[in-house]
Amino acid sequence: MDRKITASHAEIDDAAQMALFLERIPNSGDLDALLMERRVVSTRNYDDDAMIARFVRSNGTTVACYTVEDVTIDEGEMIAAQCELLDVWSLENFSAAVHVALDPEV
């Protein structure tokens, strides 16, 4: 099954980029504070009502959010486990991890 997968990126020092990046993430206040520490960050959250899983990665300079729509919380956990194997995060690699996690026969 094809899932809608999107990515957004921002430079942490660019206030305008960060404002746009964070406005797309519900309840992002804690995330904003965490990112402003400019450390390596790997976190995720799940929106039960919208059935959206978000995976946030930062190297302390830039931040990326990979979003998968129409997934259950259990599927989000399966995606997270598969993402632990990623050496390089990109939309292509993340999408491949999602497909391995959710569609292993394909």
pLDDT-derived band at 3, boundaries 50, 70, 90: confident
With 70 as the cut, is the pLDDT of residue 106 above it? no
Copy the structure tokens of residue 15: 């206030």
pLDDT at residue number 69 = 96
pLDDT at residue number 18 = 96
Domain spans, the chain? 5-102
- 10 by Cβ neighbours in 10 Å (0-12 / 13-18 / 19+) ranks as buried
List C-alpha distances in Å: 18 to 43, 84, 86, 88, 92.
17, 25, 25, 22, 23
Q: Which residues is 57 bridged to in the sheet?
A: 42, 64
With 90 as the cut, is the pLDDT of residue 103 above it? no
With 70 as the cut, is the pLDDT of residue 1 above it? no
